[in-house]
Amino acid sequence: MTPATDCFDLPFDGPAPFDGHPRLWRLLMGLACLLAALLLPVTDRAWAWWNVATLGNMAVAAGVLGLTGFLLGFRALSSDLFRLHAARIDTHGVGLHWSHAPTLLGPAVSQQRFVPWAEVRSVVWREGLAEHEFRQLLDLELAQPLEGERTRVSLPVSEGRQVERCQRLLRHLPANATLPAWIRNGPATGPAPGPAGWYRSARP
């Protein structure tokens, strides 16, 4: 994404694992795990080594390998491994950077797109569901899908109620954004606490 002076950046993570051909690598690893699960119980040498080394149960080890192989293979065959890498939010809209693997044998594809607020059906700021977690998330519903039928994305804002960071984000959101109660009512601590001072000072 191009540099911008008045914006709110959300970097998420680096390149996805197995970045070259992620679905193919997952499929191969899944097949390898399934093969190992089949061979492990019937290999006398492996059985003897396992008992001496760990005193574990070979059937359990084979089951774990089999389950891991199934999950890797299923994900490789059923998912395009869509992954958000960064987002840039300003008063005009949101720029998204993501990658996905559209085909099983093909490489991962990196794409970017700027979505104006007029093309975003809803903007919902919410907190995580875990008790005492207070993780801040921004859910966007887009009028036009990013890939296939994907019209919803969730952007992690912060791991807690970081008042100054949330203030900066709030300045860039559209007026019709749905906000959590702690922002509407004002935080207990932080600059300009209280519903009027904090909320109004953060809006453009």
Q: Would you call 133 helix, strand, or coil by DSSP?
A: coil
Total-model pTM: 0.68
Residue of 17 and 160 predicted with greater confidence? 160
Average pLDDT across the chain, whole number? 79
pLDDT bracket for residue 86 (50, 70, 90): confident
Give me the residue spans of the domains in the chain: 22-78, 80-185
pLDDT of residue 186: 66
Give the DSSP H or E segment for 130.
none
Question: What is each CA distance from 7 to 136, 150, 168, 188, in whole angstroms?
Answer: 18, 25, 9, 26
Once rounded to an integer, what is the mean pLDDT over residues 154-158?
Answer: 88
pLDDT bracket for residue 180 (50, 70, 90): confident
Once rounded to an integer, what is the mean pLDDT over residues 83-95?
Answer: 90
25-64 pLDDT, tens per residue? 889 999 999 998 888 777 756 566 666 555 456 778 788 8
Residue recorded with tokens 């809006």: 203
- What dotted CATH number matches 80-185? 2.30.29
